[in-house]
Amino acid sequence: MNVALRLHGDADRPALVYLPGLHGDWTLVGAFRRALAARVRFVEISYPSATDWSLVDYANAVAEALVGNHVSHGWLLAESFGSQVAWAMLARPCHFQADGLILAGGFVRHPWPAAVRMTRRALERIRFRQLCVLLRVYAVYAHGRYGFRGGAVRTDLAEFLSRRDETDRQGAAHRLRLIEGSDWESVARSVRLPVYYLSGLWDPVVPWPWVWRWLRRNCPALKGCRLVWWSDHNVLGAAAESSARQALRWMDANSGGAGCAGG
């Protein structure tokens, strides 16, 4: 099993690598990608539905895929579960060189481990047909809540639903199990590249006050935090325009003159 990868934008642009959350693919980041308007080389990752991978396996597979596609360095945009992959990539030297890290609803160690465990057990026990109903309800919610009206977004949501199957459910449950056992506090304390945090105000999945407090006290590399008031956990989708502008500003602030906000 390997990760899948999609490249958008010119190779001479700064690279921004999207590490998806629990759903594991690029189907919910289309609005954010379009908001970037090709000002970066946006790299989308999709994980396999592996049930035997460790976070180190995820990190190694992502790094190999990036280098194999001639992306040797760039920024990591780590959404939710993707933050765990990002910390694993930063924990040891690899062929891909991270220039910076943006945590989008991410975390170092989940502030509510019991909630993660309960979610994983519920995901393992629910009947697949019932899960499909819930996912369709979520798709309707996303279409209305995020102001998604265009055909491109309807296509994104249709792909999101089409990718959800029993194997995908097992892969997501395994990712929750990895979150239960992960703790990257030592990495976050020692990392030297710039770290930023982006979150929606209405986020019951990864409550930002606990994460922000820990980062500000224990992560010397933290350079800034942004709270989007009208967004929820999927801040890249719910507030695509604002999230894209903020990510570009953070990248530009550390670009050494080779900016990406123009165009």
Our measurement of the distance from residue 223's CA atom to the centroid of its chain's CA atoms, rounded to an integer in Å, reads: 19
Q: What is the pLDDT of residues 156-189, one digit of tens each?
A: 888 888 888 999 999 999 999 999 999 999 999 9
Beta strand residue intervals within the chain, DSSP E: 4-8, 15-19, 41-46, 73-79, 97-104, 195-202, 222-232
Rg (CA), the chain: 17
Relative to beta strand 97-104, strand 73-79 is: parallel
What would be the CATH architecture of the domain defined by 4-110+183-253? 3-Layer(aba) Sandwich (3.40)
Number of Cβ atoms within 10 Å of the Cβ of 71: 18
Going by the DSSP 8-state scheme, the letter that residue 254 receives in this structure is T
For 90, half-sphere exposure in the C-beta direction (CA atoms, 13 angstrom radius) is 29
**Looking at residue 159, what is its pLDDT?**
83
Q: Which residues of 39-66 are buried (b: 16+ CB within 10 A; e: fewer)?
A: bbbbbbbbbbbbeebebeebbbbbbebb
Q: What is the pLDDT of residues 54-107, one digit of tens each?
A: 999 999 999 999 999 999 999 999 999 999 999 999 998 888 999 999 999 999
